[in-house]
Structure 1
Amino acid sequence: MSDAAIVWFRTDLRLHDNEALARAVDTHDEVLPVYCFDPREFDTTMFELRKTGPYRTRFLVESVRDLKRSFREHGGDLLVRRGLPEELLPGLANEYGAETVYYQTTPSTEERAVESAVIDGLDQRGVDHHRVWGKTLYHIDDLPVEIDRIDDTFTPWRKTVENEATVRETFEKPAPNDLAVTLFEGDSEPDPTAIPTPLESDDTERAPDDRAVLDFEGGETAGLQRLDEYVWEGDHLREYKATRNGLLGPDYSSKFSPWLALGCLSPRRVHETVERYEHERVANESTYWLVFELLWRDYMTFQFEKHGAAFFTPTGIRGVEKNWRRDETAFERWAAGETGIPFVDANMRELNRTGYMSNRGRQNVASFLADVLELDWRLGAAYFESRLVDYDVCSNWGNWAYQAGVGNDSRDGYFHVLGQGKRYDSDAEYIRRWLPALGGLPADACHEPWQLSDGQQEMYGVELGEEYPEPMVDVEAVYERLAK
């Protein structure tokens, strides 16, 4: 065995099923785990929106803190620094005498650019580097066809993978005595939660909203607990497919996505849990459907590996030309949940106040922005990037491109937000929760308050344009035009 190695943690903030960590521990006498808060991740997007908003920042900080605590419980530590990885990692390798840096790759343009810069810095110092693939359920090397030949339509790809590939076994969590590390004097803090904040002025302490569907706590510990609670304690997996389009409550869907996004939870660990559940309790369409959703996540990741930066262009991977509008006022009303269309506004306000929105909500607000308002879909994707606690670059941008008609399996149609609201929130309970100004209205009026006469508005105590905005567009007329 050789002496020392660095494990650079990125979106793999866990000890379980972590190939980079396992390889380093198996090969080296001493391992130094490192996490870098890259200031560029807290800068702005191409649309001058903050890349990482408060809820995602808080979840990230909690996840790093939890990982540091786990290392300490195992007799080691996680070195946390704020700065550019391409500057920090080569310097740390030199200071600690590390001969190799292990890390998990991320298939997106900015993240790959950082990887390249880190590799250049390591090469200049003669430090080796070892890249692993660990984000997806199926390993990239096990796909039936090469990345540049995978189908751009999901269903054929899914069937091929299910028939011709297998999921690898998870990596064991290293034993406690394998994670001991010697830090320089002053590197180790007595408080295991003490880590640098991502920004000089940090706003991660956002008061929780008691209307949130779940208190998303970052970290591997919370992720594994959520997996256990949802599958075993609550026994919700058996009904997942029937309930996954819900809008209220913690258990209508698994809500594993925030922990998957930061790698606090391994998709292979989820898969193993589903298989054990199917063996010990029940195997049905719902248990399959959770794995199906992991496959969709895989697919978007592999599509980014194939198409790269094309996903960030207005025309997407299909080169579809559309006349996207730029209207700052319209975008701001959409973002603030002030469109005057209650189902859209309720979802946007939930996002703004909790960092989360249901999948059904995401589809509808995306369709409203792209199909009804005809705004540049990338504005919506960038806004989600800032706000979502479960932001994943591939899933977010891939699904927005899909909805805008420029991505994979792209829709030729649209989501009719009025019909969708009435179908999935028929009693308007969700709308009333997030739009209290409409709380006194009957269900039908909650969905279309502009239909109320002046007398009815007075009777119910809501005046459009005052307590709740007038609709910014004649949405019914838009849908009549789109249906032609």
Structure 2
Amino acid sequence: MQEQQKNTGLVWFRNNLRVNDNISLKKSIENNNKTFAVYFFDPKLFQEDAYGFKKTAKFRAKFLIETIADLQRNLANLNITLLTYFDSPENKLQKLCKEYAVTDIYTQKEWTKEETETNKKIRKKLPSDISFVEDYDQFLYHPNTVSKDFSKIPNVFTAFRKKLEKTVAVQEENNISKLSSDNLLEIKTEIPTLENLGFSDFKIPNKTAFPFLGGESEALKRLDNYFFETKKVAFYKKTRNGLVGTDYSTKFSAWLANGSISAKTIYWKIKEFENEFGANQSTYWVIFELIWRDYFKYISLKYNNKIFKIGGILDKDYQWYNYQKDINKWIYGETKDDFVNANMIELKKTGWMSNRGRQNVASYFAKELLLDWRIGAAYFESLLIDYDVHSNYGNWMYVAGVGNDPRDRKFNTKLQAERYDSKYKFRKLWLEKTLF
């Protein structure tokens, strides 16, 4: 009798840093005799960009290290080894495939410029008999169920949302099986430290609105707390424009951004909550925000690298400036606007800013100072713990008037401060002795 061919699957983790509802992991386990995993702390992502900002600054770097440590533990519980390297995937992947006789690589499908360039470099080096399996695994509504032609995605969110809600179902989560202990590799690697990545250790101020650790375990703990322990989700629509504290919003965005939790997991937990305690506008509004997140991904699929161009997806020919003095004043919270300043200081000290704050400081940067919006987007990319390429550039285009806002609005930051911080609670928290 012919012996069954032995296949080895390698799961290359990108922004899908979880074991629950992970299609790459599921496919590798189901289709191979052995499975192991790898994560690369790619040096490119810790270097300076064209504007002089580190692409990944200390806040997201720390959150990422915590996330990978948690992923390694969770995979070990499934008897899967996670190897980690401070190296680029195009440098190391081929060697790993050779060393462990890998037959199949499984990874999350990415489509933005830097990620696809990395893929091309990898494929050039890989032997042709190694299959390279990519899956969209960062959506609420899977692309296969949404459109066969991304060029037909509507340019207005409401049209997109209404059609989706009417005609498309959210898929079930993928269940992952535990393997036998002989699947584990004998080799162990070290997770890089902050110092390895070029940073000194630091502490985030206690008054931060985002005091959470990275990793799937923390994400699931927050989900359970926000939904079932405190039932704060039932008030989300009323509190979501808040500025102070941990519970004015879900705070899921950082874990969603690096894939520590899937949008589907959140969706089905909301459905569970609604079945037990009833649905209301607030529970729906969390789903509404997840659809916005999907929408920016679909806009990125539709327009590709146009989301990084100065004219945006509308090819607008506005006059933009890059006065370093004005950029620095914005970064350091030294503008003429105290509401903008408080938000920018919060970002600089914690790597976090509320959604309300982001809209105001971005509008001030692009519409008041008339500065090249891509510089602001790059600064957010560097600093924000919850940076997500599609949401970040989608939102910046929107606010700068080169994206999906048909009204091309400008935020009145003074009125916004009066409305959302009438008692100066937020500004007092971050401006401290500067103004008070």
TM-score (norm 2): 0.96
- 1:226 matched residue in structure 2: 222
- 1:86 matched residue in structure 2: 90
Structure 1, unaligned runs of 5 or more: 441-484
- 2:412 matched residue in structure 1: 416
Post-superposition Cα deviations, 1:136-161, rounded to whole Å, max 9, x if no partner, equal 10111000452111111111011111
What code does the residue aligned with 1:392 have?
D
What code does the residue aligned with 2:188 have?
S
- 1:95 matched residue in structure 2: 99
Asked whether the equivalents of residues 62 and 194 of structure 2 are also in contact (C-alpha less than 8 Å), the reply is no
- 1:454 matched residue in structure 2: none
Alignment partner of 2:112 out of 98, 108, 112: 108
Q: How does 1:244-393 map to 2 (within 5 A)?
A: 244-393=240-389
What secondary structure is seen at the aligned counterpart in 2 of 1:48? coil
- 2:159 matched residue in structure 1: 156
Alignment partner of 1:14 out of 12, 18, 22: 18
Asked whether the equivalents of residues 144 and 161 of structure 1 are also in contact (C-alpha less than 8 Å), the reply is no
Alignment partner of 2:53 out of 37, 49, 53: 49
Partners of 1:398 and 1:356 lie apart in 2 by 18
Percent of residue pairs bearing the same amino acid type:
38
Q: CA 1:178 to 1:23, structure 2 compared with 1: closer, same or farther past 3 Å?
A: farther
What secondary structure is seen at the aligned counterpart in 2 of 1:130? strand
Asked whether the equivalents of residues 150 and 298 of structure 2 are also in contact (C-alpha less than 8 Å), the reply is yes
What code does the residue aligned with 1:166 have?
A
What code does the residue aligned with 2:268 have?
E
Partners of 1:176 and 1:239 lie apart in 2 by 41
Cα-Cα RMSD = 1.6
Larger Rg: 1
Alignment partner of 1:207 out of 198, 203, 207: 203
What code does the residue aligned with 1:50 have?
K
- 1:60 correspondence with 2:56: no
Asked whether the equivalents of residues 432 and 438 of structure 1 are also in contact (C-alpha less than 8 Å), the reply is no
Partners of 2:200 and 2:300 lie apart in 1 by 30
- 2:188 matched residue in structure 1: 188
Deviation at 1:164, TM superposition (A): 1.2
Structure 2, unaligned runs of 5 or more: none
Partners of 2:179 and 2:214 lie apart in 1 by 22
What secondary structure is seen at the aligned counterpart in 1 of 2:35? strand
Aligned length: 432
Partners of 1:266 and 1:259 lie apart in 2 by 8
- 1:239 correspondence with 2:235: yes
- 2:124 matched residue in structure 1: 120
Q: CA 1:199 to 1:138, structure 2 compared with 1: closer, same or farther past 3 Å?
A: farther
Q: How does 1:392-403 map to 2 (within 5 A)?
A: 392-403=388-399
Asked whether the equivalents of residues 55 and 206 of structure 1 are also in contact (C-alpha less than 8 Å), the reply is no
Partners of 1:139 and 1:9 lie apart in 2 by 19
- 1:76 correspondence with 2:80: yes
What secondary structure is seen at the aligned counterpart in 1 of 2:81? coil
Deviation at 1:83, TM superposition (A): 1.2
- 1:31 correspondence with 2:35: yes
Deviation at 1:91, TM superposition (A): 1.3
Partners of 1:402 and 1:233 lie apart in 2 by 36
Q: CA 1:204 to 1:217, structure 2 compared with 1: closer, same or farther past 3 Å?
A: farther
What secondary structure is seen at the aligned counterpart in 1 of 2:39? strand
Partners of 2:182 and 2:91 lie apart in 1 by 25
- 1:131 correspondence with 2:127: no
Asked whether the equivalents of residues 65 and 192 of structure 2 are also in contact (C-alpha less than 8 Å), the reply is no
Partners of 1:248 and 1:179 lie apart in 2 by 49
Deviation at 1:214, TM superposition (A): 2.7
Partners of 2:70 and 2:364 lie apart in 1 by 38
Q: How does 1:423-462 map to 2 (within 5 A)?
A: 423-437=419-433, 440=436
Partners of 1:291 and 1:158 lie apart in 2 by 11
Q: CA 1:237 to 1:137, structure 2 compared with 1: closer, same or farther past 3 Å?
A: same
What secondary structure is seen at the aligned counterpart in 2 of 1:5? strand
Partners of 1:126 and 1:198 lie apart in 2 by 37
Asked whether the equivalents of residues 76 and 181 of structure 1 are also in contact (C-alpha less than 8 Å), the reply is yes
What secondary structure is seen at the aligned counterpart in 2 of 1:435? helix
Deviation at 1:172, TM superposition (A): 0.8
Partners of 1:247 and 1:196 lie apart in 2 by 33
Asked whether the equivalents of residues 402 and 411 of structure 1 are also in contact (C-alpha less than 8 Å), the reply is no
- 1:3 matched residue in structure 2: 7
Partners of 1:72 and 1:38 lie apart in 2 by 23
Deviation at 1:43, TM superposition (A): 1.3
Partners of 2:398 and 2:197 lie apart in 1 by 36
Asked whether the equivalents of residues 105 and 112 of structure 1 are also in contact (C-alpha less than 8 Å), the reply is no
Partners of 2:393 and 2:352 lie apart in 1 by 16
Partners of 2:277 and 2:44 lie apart in 1 by 46
Deviation at 1:81, TM superposition (A): 1.1
TM-score (norm 1): 0.87
What code does the residue aligned with 1:85 have?
P
Q: CA 1:86 to 1:423, structure 2 compared with 1: closer, same or farther past 3 Å?
A: same
Deviation at 1:107, TM superposition (A): 2.8
- 1:216 correspondence with 2:219: no
What secondary structure is seen at the aligned counterpart in 1 of 2:214? coil
